[in-house]
Amino acid sequence: MVDIADGWHWREEAWGAALQQDALGAVAAHVITSRALNFRTQPEADYAALARTFGRSAGDVVRVTQMHGRAIVHVRPGEDVPNGIEADAIISTDPARVISVRVADCVPVLIADRHQRVVAAVHAGWKGTCAAIAEATVEAIAAQDVAPGDLVAAIGPSIGSCCYQVDSRVRHSFLAMTPDAAAWMGEDGMERWKLDLWQANVDQLVRAGMREDAIHVARVCTADHLDRCFSHRAEGPTTGRMVAAIRLRAPTRC
């Protein structure tokens, strides 16, 4: 069984185990899938199963072609979003749709506004983290008059610094972005460093204006917990994918 941080729990859905975060769950419906679905061998069936968790159909799950950058797609009521559009973050103000990102070592970040005006799903690999995709997402939400201090974030399973060794090229890329990046890396000998993508994304969210106590990190390393997680680094490129998905709650009617 995967050890998880306080405030996180595994819940059994009809299709298998799903990870959820309590503080985020108080304001938005969300799940992070496990190995019960793999989104590769029969992706449409898996997306249909995921959609039913939210009471929706597969066509209501917004997906993007992830490019390891900082492009953001906005999902608004009544506006079409073609599946496969290139982006690494999705911001939604449409309670009729579920937004999702796929990961297998990269960092999934789910964000919701406490007042239920907006939700976001972010895919942050090392390149996306280096491009500050999480920070850019919060800034884009703030541009919609939602204060960053009103947001709650959940950082799900991804490769941890325990297993993520990077070379000098990656280190220099981060240091060129910000000198703060030195704090995210521990020297591992012979021009190698252990990169802490969890802390990097926490720091970016805080820099964008979020409260640190509103950011909840599962601290589950995908490479170290293959009983529940997929890991590109540990298993190779043909492994499955986990999906982090979130849906905005519809306004309560009096």
Q: What is the pLDDT of residue 253?
A: 57
Q: What is the pLDDT of residue 2?
A: 64
138, pLDDT greater than 60: yes
Q: What is the pLDDT of residue 254?
A: 45
Helices (H) then strands (E): counts for the chain: 7, 17
- Which domains are seen in the chain, by residue range? 8-158+198-247 (3.60.140.10)
Q: What is the pLDDT of residue 148?
A: 98
First and final C-alpha spacing in the chain: 43
State pLDDT tens for residues 122-137. Answer: 999 999 999 999 999 9
Q: What is the pLDDT of residue 178?
A: 92
Mean local confidence (pLDDT), 199-209:
98
State pLDDT tens for residues 2-31. Answer: 668 889 999 999 999 999 999 999 999 999
CA dist., res. 43 & res. 39, Å (int): 4
pLDDT band at 104 (very low <50, low <70, confident <90, very high): very high
Instruction: List the single range of 43-47, 188-192, 214-218 with lowest mean pLDDT.
Output: 188-192
State the DSSP code for 221: B
pLDDT band at 252 (very low <50, low <70, confident <90, very high): low
Report long-range pairs for 164-170 (Cβ below 8 Å, ≥24 apart): 164/105, 164/194, 164/195, 164/196, 164/197, 164/223, 164/233, 165/192, 165/193, 165/194, 165/195, 166/126, 166/192, 166/193, 166/194, 166/195, 167/191, 167/192, 167/193, 168/193, 170/126, 170/130, 170/195
State pLDDT tens for residues 153-174. Answer: 999 999 999 999 999 999 999 9
Alpha-carbon torsion, ordered 152, 224, 195, 133, to 10 deg: -40
CA dist., res. 198 & res. 156, Å (int): 9
Average pLDDT in the chain: 95
pLDDT band at 142 (very low <50, low <70, confident <90, very high): very high
State pLDDT tens for residues 180-203. Answer: 999 999 988 788 999 999 999 999
The pTM of this model reads 0.96
CA dist., res. 233 & res. 180, Å (int): 26
CA dist., res. 249 & res. 190, Å (int): 50
Higher pLDDT, 84 or 98: 98
Share of the chain above pLDDT 70, in %: 98
Give whole-number Cα distances, 24 to 19, 176, 177, 182, in Å: 12, 33, 29, 30
Token pair in block for residue 229: 């997680």
